[in-house]
Amino acid sequence: MELITTFENWAYSETVEHMSPALTATMKFITHLGDAISIIIICLILIAIPFLRKNYSVRVILSVISASILNSILKLTFARERPNILQLITEKSYSFPSGHSMANMALYASIVFISWKKLKNIDTKIFITTISSILVIIIGISRVYLGVHYITDVLAGWAFGLIIAYLVCRKA
């Protein structure tokens, strides 16, 4: 347990090493990219465009809903309090696992998995994978920077989200 605490403290100190008002504003913007409303908008876009509706919408939405339900269950099960550090935004639920990290991994990993199965153009597949990976990573890092999650919360969220996306999309 001491090793985990040491790792979490190191990750937080590395994440906030260059804390500044501009970086804080950027991290707040990034974290909002991963909010529920942003995820809902992306899902609505998937439903609105015929090609995306046919190839993506059901599995992506199922992944996101599954991640949200599992996240709520896990938060209540573990009941881990949020970090007792400088919190730059306010969150009310428990800390473990990170809901932002879990939902966004489920969302973007599902999009990536389906893209690799449905699209033919390798450049498009690589582009979607790169953008999705960057978004998942920076949203997770923003949660640590803003002081509302430990790095282990984020890592667990990513792991659970990836597993859900894989299970839902493996036969897409």
Question: Mind telling me the catalytic residues?
Answer: 100, 149
Q: What's the Cα-to-Cα distance from 146 to each of 37, 86, 107, 111, 172, rounded to whole Å?
A: 19, 8, 22, 27, 36
> How many CB atoms within 10 Å of residue 20?
9
d(CA 96, CA 48): 33
Q: For the chain, first and last CA: distance in Å?
A: 40
Q: What's the Cα-to-Cα distance from 90 to each of 39, 52, 137, 139, 172, rounded to whole Å?
A: 20, 35, 21, 16, 38
